Amino acid sequence: MAEAILEVRGLHKHYPLTRGVLFRKEVGSVRAVDGVDLTLRRGETLGVVGESGCGKSTAARLLVSLERPTAGSITYRGEDVTRLSGRALKAVRRNIQMVFQDPYTSLNPRMTVGDIVGEPFDIHPEAAPKGERRRRVRELLDVVGLNPEHINRYPHQFSGGQRQRIGIARGLALRPEIIVADEPVSALDVSVQAQVINLMARLQREFGLSYVFIAHDLSIVRHISDRVAVMYLGRIVESGRDSEIYDHPTHPYTQALLSAVPVPDPRARARRERIILTGDVPSPAAVPSGCRFRTRCWKARDVCAEEVPLLAVPQRLRGGLAGHESACHFAEEKRVVAPTP
């Protein structure tokens, strides 16, 4: 197994909830990220999946040090990034880049493509001498499949897929080791999604990149992920190799998500069990006690309200195909998507 390039332990980001304008009073907190554990290995893609509002973008911003966590550690090259500042932090940020969620809003409409892709060189001038930057930007456009002649165009002159290629070129500019891609294809047409995912897979091989690839749907990350982590209300509830998660899920939430994934084969579709979750996702400002999934879980018992299930390999599942990390007191395998006969 490849070495861990990024290790995240007990990561929290709580935003204060305040009331009043003149005398702002803290009345609680939004627990956007509430104890996330993740390991990213060199050269792999870790898919992170969860519903809207579960804290994916917040976690992404913490991973690339755009925000500081409330608690927890992010270890990169043996150092806890969350404790760094100044030049040391800047050096780390150069190596861990982000591709943003929405290519329609994340590119400044008043900047040319050349200026957008070259912007990281303004922040890290040591990465490319001034006289070289235009040439580097042209190269980057070429690498992501855009015409280098279009360097002076503006974002609105490109399609959604092309705009996300611009975002990827910007993410690549400093030759990072890690790219955190926050739902890079969610805003794109289905036909374009595969092209962008294929591009990212090719760049990963070419540049030896490690990816954290965020999505709200398990089907999107299937083709690109080596391992998958499922997130619910600020925490990882299950993680494992992609075959473990897709074929041997043990957490009820993962099973419910998988049961909603479109199955193209009509015979398999007819045999598959749909799990319809009742109720809404609770607010991250009022996280349920014990297991945070219990208000929607069909297996919940009294203990689920009292004890927080930790993310660990359940003792009785060890050694088997279902033996991977799951944060459930009653983790057990349930095949949701019927195997093709």
Taking the complex as a whole, the smallest distance from the CB of residue 169 to ligand ATP amounts, in Å, to: 23
Among Mg ion, ligand SF4, ligand ATP, none, partner that 293 touches (CB below 5 to 8 angstroms by kind): ligand SF4
Tokens of 7: 């290790």
Taking the complex as a whole, the smallest distance from the CB of residue 277 to ligand SF4 amounts, in Å, to: 11
Taking the complex as a whole, the smallest distance from the CB of residue 190 to ligand ATP amounts, in Å, to: 18
Among Mg ion, ligand SF4, ligand ATP, none, partner that 284 touches (CB below 5 to 8 angstroms by kind): ligand ATP
Q: Of residues 279-318, which lie at the interface with ligand SF4 (CB under 6 A)? A: 291, 293-294, 297, 299-300, 304, 309
x-marked contacts with ligand ATP along 9-28 as a string, rule CB under 6 A: ------x-------------
Residue 73, classified by CB atoms within 10 Å of its CB into exposed (0-12), middle (13-18) or buried (19+), is: middle
Beta strand ranges found along 100-234 (DSSP E)? 178-182, 210-215, 227-232
Closest residue to Mg ion in the complex (CB): 57
Residues contacting 323, CB < 8 A, separation 6+: 313, 314, 317
Among ligand ATP, Mg ion, ligand SF4, none, partner that 250 touches (CB below 5 to 8 angstroms by kind): none
Sheet of 71-76: strand order equals: 25-41, 4-19, 71-76, 79-80
From the list 4-12, 45-53, 138-146, 272-280, the region that binds ligand ATP by CB under 6 A is 45-53
* Alpha carbon distance 230, 28 (integer Å): 26
Q: How many residues bind ligand SF4 (CB under 6 A)?
A: 12
Taking the complex as a whole, the smallest distance from the CB of residue 286 to ligand ATP amounts, in Å, to: 11
Taking the complex as a whole, the smallest distance from the CB of residue 165 to ligand ATP amounts, in Å, to: 21
- Please identify, using beta-carbon distances, which residue of 165 and 235 lies nearer to ligand ATP: 235
Q: Of residues 249-278, which lie at the interface with ligand SF4 (CB under 6 A)? A: 252
Among ligand SF4, ligand ATP, Mg ion, none, partner that 300 touches (CB below 5 to 8 angstroms by kind): ligand SF4
* Alpha carbon distance 134, 131 (integer Å): 7
Among 57, 65, 210, 326, binds ligand ATP (CB under 6 A): 57
Q: Of residues 19-78, which lie at the interface with Mg ion (CB under 5 A)? A: 56-57
Can you say whether the dihedral through the CA atoms of 52, 223, 193, 143 is positive or negative?
A: positive
Q: Of residues 5-64, which lie at the interface with ligand SF4 (CB under 6 A)? A: none
| CA atoms within 13 Å, Cβ hemisphere of 261 | 24
Q: Of residues 228-287, which lie at the interface with ligand ATP (CB under 6 A)? A: 284
8 A C-beta contact, residue 99 and residue 173:
no
- Please identify, using beta-carbon distances, which residue of 5 and 36 lies nearer to ligand ATP: 36
Q: Which long-range contacts (CB under 8 A, 24 or more apart) does 198-205 make?
A: 199/144, 199/145, 199/165, 199/168, 200/168, 200/224, 203/143, 203/144, 203/168, 203/172, 204/43, 204/45
Bridge partners (DSSP) of residue 239 are 229, 325
- By C-alpha distance, which of 328, 306, 302, 301 is closest to 317? 328
- By C-alpha distance, which of 231, 249, 232, 55 is closest to 240? 249
List residues binding ligand SF4 (CB under 6 A). Answer: 252, 291, 293-294, 297, 299-300, 304, 309, 328-330
Q: By the criterion CB under 5 A, which residues form the site for Mg ion? A: 56-57
Interface residues toward ligand ATP, by CB under 6 A: 15, 30, 32, 50, 52-58, 101, 216, 284
